[in-house]
Amino acid sequence: MKMHGKLIKWKDDRGFGFILCEHNQQQVFVHISAFPSSSPRPKVGEVLDFDIETTADGKTRAINISRGGAVKTQTHTSTIKLRKTPGKKTKILSGIIVLLVIGLIVASVNQ
């Protein structure tokens, strides 16, 4: 049975949120994979139609999402700062370069 509700929370960086089900006023978990792959990213306030599935561990989630109406836009901007940490190879290469530079300095001082 198709349910109807409104997206009330969405964590775009993590790809999930919650729908307030119009039928029973309960919050239902929804994952980005429940939306059609070609559709735009979900927005808080969006009206959605969906089916409810109960997982093996007894939790409920929304599946087979379709957009049911107009979007009430809520402006929210966030900046995600990605920091690439150096990998093992980068650290080893940096260590070798430092040792070479020290070796060159020592060699030039000893001449």
Prediction pTM value: 0.58
Instruction: Report yes or no on 72 lying in a domain.
Output: no
Instruction: Report yes or no on 94 lying in a domain.
Output: no
16 and 59 Cβ atoms separated by less than 8 Å: no
Instruction: Report yes or no on 84 lying in a domain.
Output: no
Kindly report, residue by residue over 20-75, the tens digit of the pLDDT: 998 889 999 999 999 998 889 999 999 999 999 998 998 999 999 998 754 444 44
Count of the separate structural domains present in the chain: 1
Instruction: Report yes or no on 93 lying in a domain.
Output: no
Q: Is 12 left (phi over 0), alpha (psi -120 to 50) or beta?
A: alpha
Kindly report, residue by residue over 90-109, the tens digit of the pLDDT: 778 888 999 999 999 998 89
Instruction: Report yes or no on 99 lying in a domain.
Output: no
Q: Regarding beta strands 60-67 and 27-31, do their DSSP bridges make them parallel or antiparallel, or are they unpaired?
A: parallel
CATH number of the domain where residue 34 is located: 2.40.50.140
Query: CA–CA separation, 30 vs 58, rounded Å?
Result: 15
Domain with 48, as residue range(s), is: 3-67
Query: CA–CA separation, 50 vs 28, rounded Å?
Result: 10
Q: Is the dihedral of CA 87, 89, 95, 101 positive or negative?
A: negative
